[in-house]
Structure 1
């Protein structure tokens, strides 16, 4: 296939992203109370449809807005849920968009009012984020975009050179240092 041919797969967005949970009901209630997500549907089987394997499960689906669905599996016959100990806890996370910095700060106040520890806001140059954990140990991020069209265009322009340089050196490329300067200028040197 040459570079001018259309790709044979045309995606229409994310149908759903699925993660494991310790307790389906607790998870549905937490995401409703903390993030306002609507519980939309569930599937439950004793045998996995794709493999036929006996492994009872509850598969719950939550509306994350804009047609995005977050799903969870409760698997009572599997070993206790853990996490990849070779990957830092901050790496694997679920990130959701909020509409503005004001909404981000209101979300932080709401989450903290529920007794949940919140980190941030953290300034990433073109967006700001807060972070906290769900009852399953999944890190959740709420992010508010604050960048300009020119900044997003510049990031797209340097994306491939950055990836190429990273692939060769395994050191952070300097192509988008201006992002860090933006964050530092707003918060002293705490970027």
Structure 2
């Protein structure tokens, strides 16, 4: 049994209307819609998952589309930037693609030796593309495979007690400190490559963030199996954190707790994965419900607006 976590599993954010969200993440960014399901705690709302071709942990961005919900406020106690990884030679392609798609972006900058392009999605969620050495396979979709997004590069956390957050992550969650610059402490897990990186930023003097459209709800870190999952839960609970029971999310098992800096952390298992209830070649094409919600399918489908993936027929 391994100990600790091995990098980012997924990041979950709040968006506005679901179709605009699909148009941007499956269309502009070219990530694959790997699962369309519902928020298990609010079944009248979609839960949309985007990732690489196989829906692998470390590539999964998920959304609760709450149309008409108020905008959130970015601040301390949040994931303030979600960064995607692209091949080192693909920055020119992505610059042109964002221009052609009408996405405004900041001037490219250097951080930790990589070139970074910062922009926002249609709901104001802060994103970056990082041109880095990344040997993971690309997913083509509407973008050429050689230029496609490889998954996450890192996530940036703004916390009100950076020292305690770093200590928790390095002493108990399997991360190690590898660099420091620009008020950021860079942590790495696993092999330390893209998808396994987290930047912790000291935001002790900033107002607390407010949950809403355009903000991240939580970040999940991955473990390989249920045995490790339970061991991490026991260790974190032993530190005095209020940890949830293990929850069945159908595609992984989860626990949640709030770290000392205010960010909601989830620990998620790699298995069983997104092919648990769907053929890998047809991920995300149909509305999938957990067994305990199947008897309500008609009611749920009546509430959810139909969505269309760019380049595919409406499901």
The interval holding the TM-score normalised by the smaller chain is 0.5 to 0.7
2:176 corresponding residue in structure 1: 38
Q: CA deviation at 1:150?
A: 4.6
Q: CA deviation at 1:96?
A: 0.8
Pairwise CA RMSD = 3.1
Q: Which consecutive segments of 4 or more residues in structure 1 shift more than 4 A?
A: none
The range that moved more, 12-21 or 136-145, is: 12-21
2:187 corresponding residue in structure 1: 62
Q: What secondary structure sits across from 1:126 in the alignment?
A: coil
Q: Work out which of the residue numbers 150, 164, 177 in structure 2 matches 1:26.
A: 164
| Structure 1: gaps (5+ residues) | 45-57, 162-174, 183-191
| Structure 2: gaps (5+ residues) | 1-96, 98-140, 294-315
TM-score (ref. length: structure 2): 0.42
Contact 1:21 1:81 in 2 (8 A): no
Structure richer in helix, relative to its length: 1
Q: What secondary structure sits across from 2:245 in the alignment?
A: strand
1:119 corresponding residue in structure 2: 244
Task: Output the CA distance in 1 between the equivalents of 2:219 and 2:142.
Answer: 34
Contact 2:159 2:165 in 1 (8 A): yes
Structure richer in strand, relative to its length: 2
TM-score (ref. length: structure 1): 0.65
Q: CA deviation at 1:83?
A: 1.7
Task: Output the CA distance in 1 between the equivalents of 2:210 and 2:281.
Answer: 31
| Distance 1:156-1:93 versus aligned 2 partners, 3 A rule | farther
Contact 1:124 1:180 in 2 (8 A): no
Q: Does 1:133 align with 2:245?
A: no
Q: Work out which of the residue numbers 109, 112, 126 in structure 1 matches 2:234.
A: 109
Structure with the greater alpha carbon radius of gyration: 1
**When the two structures are aligned, how many residues end up with a matched partner?**
150
